Structure 1
């Protein structure tokens, strides 16, 4: 790394802080802070979606798995692509219309609108836990990149990544996230797909060199393990329907068309980046076979192969992907705390400025908590898959029922969410404690989903809805039908 490359990195960090400072002056209320005044266009929405999902796992995690096992690593991003397409075609327009009609800001807003307060509370707790976990994975990835680049200790790198990300996110809110994410999405696409791939292709001598010199297992799609792949694909796709940012992105769109098309654009961009990173990870294995892991090999590839200036641009592109995902996660969990806990249960009469100040404070707390969890974590993808499971297993069927099943009721939603969340947590605890049981070798997603589906479907089918719930169901279904 040369001084010019470090200068690019420093300017990038400064730009993020400046954007956060000026965006803070635009915040007038919680609608501005969390959903950007509900007036975001298609391309900006695509960048926001992309930034939410193209983070540490998509870049560093895919590079790590590509370095270790080859093209089987693509399943992670393929699952995201499928999730984008399915959510766009089935839910995006519906969510936007409902959000405008009922002035929703968060996912639990929708859950309470359809079910009841208890269900809202369980969905809020689940979402907060998941998004703190998401935040942790991104800060972990950012810290490792900064450490590799600068040789600063991992502890100091955590501090740098956490302080910068929290600062521009908490003070700038949605406006800062939108501005930085548009800039960062462009950096990622340009840096990885238009600069990194051609330079690396020239260095390794083309795809034929990979097929000739790497093990045949690097070109087998099932190297990761069929059961692992299937569970991962399922949990990621289901998470699109239960993640806070899926709903806030649609609420923020200026129209149903923007909500749908912005989601589709992000899906194809993610697929492009995934194939690019897979190629880089496999190329790094060919050029630097003795690296301790794929993340280090990717950074080594950048430092060794790329010319001065492009090195700095590429490292900024990777940090952009990571930090843009972290800011979305922090803002989502902050909305849960301020909107779904404080404003809903503690102080419903709080004025918008007080809620806005609490939003800034809660963003700081979420980022700090995520950093503490990241400090004790080892694998980016393992932690991320765990949060996907927590976020999706218990919430998916009640969410689908809210839109499509008139008999779905609050008792069924509450108990299916609660019992499923408990089952998933017990399963992970059993795995963590290394219980010698074949039962706990099963991925926690499956018992969580099975319990949630069984409880939700039986209680909905056998119970009698109250008139209030039935009236609300008709209202939401009517909104869904009038697309």
Structure 2
């Protein structure tokens, strides 16, 4: 984001206020709970007792963050109306959730799962499948956390007009995040999600109102400007763009639904009814959140024309400058809103870090290194590992490798390879461990090679989707070739899969 006209002392004060509130939430979430740090379930899943308000907002914060605004609006600005796909893939994520979440919740409650890898290990009884799934999930989480750290630095530095430099901003808010997460675990994360979610929703609406006012109060005037000056952004997408659109729907729709931190929110619900009610409300969020951000990006084409790729990454800040100049009300709303963007990014990062730590403590240390370790020690191992991981990612974040959108796409290429094992394995009893392993491995290799050699898409199709197709083929055909033994069928009946 560009330096804001309201940046400076006002921005520092707002960020300080958000930081204090988050620390207080962490303190009060953990105060008086003597078992919080002694139990994996209590620390990482809030005792599996999240009610509808906390569950809805923590699911909302998992799917959307401040980065949705500062990353998606510039993409709409650069690509035009073809970025309507952002609404579609956010909607598909909810549909995929509903495909497996209720059933997964029942199984997780029965078997007391802590992490998604618990399900993989329980379903396939294979170390190789579990380890590969864990590696792919940690890749996705690490990549996502890197994205949030980069966004924190840019957003906080912009809001304070450079008073807080990029590196200092990242370190300061990472420390805040580590402290309140250390104090309160999932409870602290969920309650900070409620705070940032409310402010973010209101802020997006007011931001859009200000943008509409600046283009003359008529959205059609913006589309008329685009039709006259940049008709390619308004026209029907060509075949390659359409193929890429459907590829993105598959990549994000399937990948985001099995985010480890999203799956753990399914485990953390206090009941199946609460889970379903939360998802029914989440179904309205793509048009309300991503849809409005899309419109903001489109209005930006008319409001601040002719930005190059680098300049467009500053779009939200540039538009905020204009909106803040309307009157005193918009000035203060923009300050609070941009503070909420930073808080929202931090809130998303804390969810990712918590899930990363839980997988290390439960699935690597607890499952393979020291299975007999008490849960208190496992929790501590997860906390320490989280700090180390953040330190490593901070080093990378000093020189971010790509635009925020490119980082966003990259993390799905490998994470989505877990989908066949995770979801198809929930419904299809014949799915066997060995073909699942080779399918995941082949898909990951194909996606990784294409990504790292520069072929992010082939004829518009993402490398991760090509890898996923090979993954499905190997897993399904291979499973048909593996006989279903009586012992295996009896085992599957125990988890309601036969």
Is the pair's TM-score, using the shorter chain for normalization, greater than 0.5?
Answer: yes
Q: Quick one: which of 199, 205, 215 aligns to 2:210? A: 199
- Correspondent of 1:143 among 137, 145, 153: 153
After superposition, the Cα gap between the structure-2 partners of 1:183 and 1:293, relative to the gap in structure 1 and judged at 3 Å, is same
Structure 1 residue 289 and structure 2 residue 313: aligned?
no
- Which secondary structure state, in structure 1, belongs to the residue aligned with residue 411 of structure 2? helix
Which residue of the partner structure matches residue 129 of structure 1? 139
Of 171, 187, 195, which aligns to 1:175?
187
Deviations 1:76-133 (A, max 9, x none): 2320112113322x21211111111000011110011110222111111110011000
The alpha-carbon distance between structure 1 residues 207 and 448, as it changes in their structure 2 partners (threshold 3 A), is: same
Question: Which among 127, 138, 157 is matched to residue 169 of structure 2?
Answer: 157
Contact 1:188 1:320 in 2 (8 A): no
C-alpha separation between the residues in 2 aligned to 1:240 and 1:5? 32
CA shift in 2, pair 1:255/1:474, >3 Å: same
1:471 corresponding residue in structure 2: 490
- Cα offset, 1:237, TM superposition: 1.3
Query: 469-478 or 26-35: which moved more?
Result: 469-478
- In structure 1, runs of 5+ residues without a counterpart are none
In 2: Cα distance, 1:413 partner to 1:471 partner: 20
Aligned mate of 2:128, from 118, 128, 141: 118
Q: Is the 8 A contact 2:247 2:460 kept in 1?
A: no
Tell me the residue number matched to 1:186.
198
Give the Å deviation of 1:313. 1.1
**How far does the alpha carbon of each residue in 1:295-328 deviate from its partner, in whole angstroms, 9 at most, with x for none?**
4121122133123321211102222332222111
Alignment of 1:304-315 (within 5 A): 304-306=322-324, 307-315=330-338
Give the direction of change, closer, same or farther, for the CA distance of 1:77–1:160 in structure 2 (3 Å limit). Answer: farther
Partner residue in 1 for 2:3: none
- Which secondary structure does the structure 1 equivalent of 2:258 belong to? coil
What is the aligned length?
A: 472
Please state whether the residue corresponding to 1:366 is helix, strand or coil.
Answer: helix
Structure 2 CA distance, aligned partners of 1:231 and 1:442?
5
Task: Summarize the Cα distance change of 1:400–1:338 in structure 2 as closer, same or farther, 3 Å threshold.
Answer: same
Q: 1:30–1:355: 8 Å Cα contact kept in structure 2?
A: yes
**Relative to structure 1, is the Cα distance of residues 221 and 163 closer, same or farther in structure 2, using a 3 angstrom cutoff?**
farther
- Kept in 2: contact 1:50–1:270 (CA 8 A): no
For residue 443 of structure 1, what is the aligned residue in structure 2? 462
Equivalents in 2 of 1:178, 1:286: separation in Å? 38
Distance 1:439 1:58 in 2: 26
| Contact 2:61/2:347 (8 A) holds in 1 | yes
**Residues 129-178 of structure 1 deviation map (CA, whole Å, 9 limit, x = unaligned):** 11000111111122111222222443333323433333333443101101
Equivalents in 1 of 2:446, 2:71: separation in Å?
A: 27
Residue in 1 aligned with 2:234? 219
Change over 3 Å in CA distance of 1:311–1:388 after alignment to 2: same
* Distance verdict in 2 for CA 1:354–1:312, change over 3 Å: same
Q: What is the CA-CA distance between 1:12 and the residue it aligns to?
A: 0.7
Provide runs of 4+ in structure 1 moved above 6 Å: 438-441
Q: Name the structure 2 match of 1:47.
A: 57
Shift of 1:210: 0.5
Q: Distance in 2 between matches of 1:376 and 1:440?
A: 28
Provide the TM-score with structure 2 as the length reference. Answer: 0.88
Give secondary structure in 2 for the equivalent of 1:308. helix
Q: Which moved more, 1:96-105 or 1:325-334?
A: 325-334
Cα pair 2:25 2:188 within 8 Å, conserved: yes
Indicate whether 1:23 and 2:35 are aligned. no
Gap runs ≥5 in structure 2: 1-5, 325-329
Per-residue CA shift, 1:363-414, capped at 9, x if unaligned?
223333333343332211212212112111x222222332221211111222
- Cα RMSD of the aligned pairs, angstroms, is 2.3
Q: 1:225 to 1:267 in 2, by over 3 A?
A: same
Aligned to 1:250: 266
Instruction: Check the 8 A contact 2:413/2:464 in 1, yes or no.
Output: yes
Give distance in 2, aligned partners of 1:455 and 1:406: 16
Which segment is superposed worse, 17-26 or 422-431? 17-26
1: CA distance between counterparts of 2:55 and 2:181?
A: 17
Matched, 1:317 2:326: no
Q: Distance in 2 between matches of 1:319 and 1:120?
A: 35
Farther-moved stretch of structure 1 (291-300 vs 438-447) = 438-447
Q: Indicate how the Cα distance of structure 1 residues 368 and 228 shifts in structure 2: closer, same or farther if over 3 A, else same.
A: farther
For the structure 1 residues 439 and 185, does the alpha-carbon distance in structure 2 shift closer, same or farther, using more than 3 Å as the test? closer
Deviations 1:321-344 (A, max 9, x none): 322221111111111101110011
The 10-residue stretch of structure 1 (40-49 or 25-34) with the greater mean CA deviation from structure 2: 25-34
Shift of 1:221: 6.0
Deviation of 1:463 after TM superposition, in Å, equals 1.1
Give the TM-score of the pair, scaled to structure 1.
0.91
Aligned residue number for residue 456 of structure 1: 475
